[in-house]
Structure 1
Amino acid sequence: MSEPESLNHTLAQFQSNRAKTMEPQALRINIDQRQLLVDTADRSGFVKAGDKVDAFALKEVGGAELSLRRLLETGPLVLVFFRFEGCPACNIALPYYNAHLAPAVKELGATLVAVSPQVPERLVGIKERHNLDFLVATDFGNDLARKLGILYGYDEPSRQAALAKGTSIGDITGTGTWELPMPATIVIDQTGTVRFADVSPDWLVRTEPENVIQAVRLIRERAAA
């Protein structure tokens, strides 16, 4: 059986194909916004390995409250931050994680949660569409993402392009703001300490599953030693 294409190769192919049909001005706005984020991101403020995570609560799309304490009861926690239910790249990344990350994380006794600021009633669609076998939850007001230093705002060309279509990202997410989390994957051990953190200012670059699996495996090895 052949090895699957990497997630980032899959995303690069998606963008290459989309560039052939996307309206040139819209394509340029998309590229420029992503490059601006890469160039200006305050990486010193990103969550990093060794940080302690304060207590938080998320709302699972089915209605359950997910506290940090509860999520760590049975093992390490893997948080995957994504933008919103209709984000094309997120609709590639989350099913990829469902196939290539979730089973290994579960086998290692860890919990996987995909997190977006989008309100639960609008967020549930991505879980149902792809039959995701992991938790999907709302970070109301981007509270957790803000503490982790991974938020960004639309630049002015992106904002004007969205308004020209009659919608703002705040309308789509139900948050009323122009803020979204950068794609990020964070692995937290049962002491509440971050053991792995990968933040991507470019939303077409995502964490590869094998890096997360290795981080969880190392936590388990340390606990067993």
Structure 2
Amino acid sequence: MTSSVSTGPLRAQFRALEEERERTWPPEALAVNVNQRALLVREHGKSGHVVQEGDVLPSVTLPTVEGGTVSLDDLAENGPAVLVFFRFAGCPACNIALPHYRDTLWPELKSAGIPLLAISPQPASALSEIATRHELPFPVASDTGLELARELGITYRFDEPSRQAAVSKGGKSAALNGLDDVWELPKPAVVVVGPGRVVQFADVSPDWMDRTESDRVLAALGLNRGEASHAA
């Protein structure tokens, strides 16, 4: 069943989620989440190159949740394509962001003939759940093993309190990224790639509760909300 239409700013929706957590989560659990995100913001970009405009992405082919494959070369062969990197199917913030992009970004991209691909390192069998739940009209692909995300410099490792919290709940890293005992995920990111896999726009969110708004992506593509139907 399709989730409700999501049109308000992402930041407002995430703030509502945070306020709910502040009311309902035990203080120690909330601190683990908040401290991990704050650490990622402080350390972002300090450990190596992070994808930016002008970079050339590697030539990769990824499996989709529908059983097919998609290559970056084919995706951007005739013009720009939008890549949305997200964490995993059960991530609450991802379950806000993807329906939001479905409702506020995808219609304009579709009208302009610009493909959108959502990417997570989670194995495809697990990712199919989020695509089905939100009836996502764009493909969802698996970057299992984080090959592409690592090339882009957008991954992060769980800090020890976060790892312990995940393990205490019976979590397995392989269920998130296909890797045994490697607690690593991509930071959410939106990347626009053009022919030759050249990056035309990149925005990486070290705090997964503060993601790229659709208007920024449309502006980077030269599209204005409500006018995309005339651009093709």
Same fold (TM over 0.5): yes
Please list the CA deviations of residues 8-60 of structure 1 after superposition, one character each: whole Å capped at 9, or x if unmatched: 11111111112210111110000000000111122661100111122111111
Q: TM-score, normalised by structure 1?
A: 0.91
Q: What residue in structure 1 maps to residue 11 of structure 2?
A: 8
| 8 Å CA contact retained: 2:121, 2:176 | no
Q: Does 1:121 align with 2:125?
A: yes
Q: Does 1:31 align with 2:34?
A: yes
Distance 1:74 1:62 in 2: 23
Secondary structure at 2:221 match in 1: helix
The CA deviation at 1:96 is 0.4
The CA deviation at 1:128 is 0.2
Q: What residue in structure 2 maps to residue 188 of structure 1?
A: 193
Q: Which amino acid aligns with 2:38?
A: Q
Distance 1:183 1:172 in 2: 14
Please list the CA deviations of residues 72-130 of structure 1 after superposition, one character each: whole Å capped at 9, or x if unmatched: 23431100000000000000000000000011111121110000000000000000000
Please list the CA deviations of residues 130-160 of structure 1 after superposition, one character each: whole Å capped at 9, or x if unmatched: 0011110001210000000000010001111
Q: Does 1:73 align with 2:77?
A: yes
Identity percentage over the alignment?
A: 47
| 8 Å CA contact retained: 1:118, 1:175 | no
| 8 Å CA contact retained: 1:119, 1:138 | yes
Q: Which amino acid aligns with 1:105?
A: L
Equivalent position to 1:102, from 90, 103, 106: 106
Q: What residue in structure 1 maps to residue 226 of structure 2?
A: none
Secondary structure at 1:32 match in 2: helix
Q: Which amino acid aligns with 1:159?
A: R
| 8 Å CA contact retained: 1:110, 1:216 | no
| 8 Å CA contact retained: 1:59, 1:120 | yes
Q: Which amino acid aligns with 2:213?
A: E
User: CA-atom RMSD, angstroms?
Assistant: 1.7
Q: TM-score, normalised by structure 2?
A: 0.88
Q: What residue in structure 2 maps to residue 151 of structure 1?
A: 155
Q: What residue in structure 2 maps to residue 56 of structure 1?
A: 60
Q: Which moved more, 1:126-135 or 1:67-76?
A: 67-76
Equivalent position to 1:205, from 210, 214, 229: 210
**Which ranges of structure 1 fall in alignment gaps of 5 or more residues?**
219-223
Q: What residue in structure 2 maps to residue 20 of structure 1?
A: 23
Distance 1:172 1:39 in 2: 24
The CA deviation at 1:168 is 3.0
**Which ranges of structure 2 fall in alignment gaps of 5 or more residues?**
1-5, 224-230
Q: Which moved more, 1:51-60 or 1:89-98?
A: 51-60
Distance 2:193 2:177 in 1: 27
Secondary structure at 1:20 match in 2: helix
Give the length in aligned residue pairs: 217
Q: What residue in structure 2 maps to residue 165 of structure 1?
A: 169
Q: Which amino acid aligns with 1:120?
A: A
Distance 1:50 1:39 in 2: 25
Distance 1:190 1:204 in 2: 31
The CA deviation at 1:192 is 1.9
| 8 Å CA contact retained: 2:122, 2:143 | yes
Distance 2:57 2:177 in 1: 25
Runs of 4+ displaced beyond 2 Å: 168-177
Distance 1:54 1:167 in 2: 31
Please list the CA deviations of residues 154-202 of structure 1 after superposition, one character each: whole Å capped at 9, or x if unmatched: 0001111111222233334443321100000000112321111000110
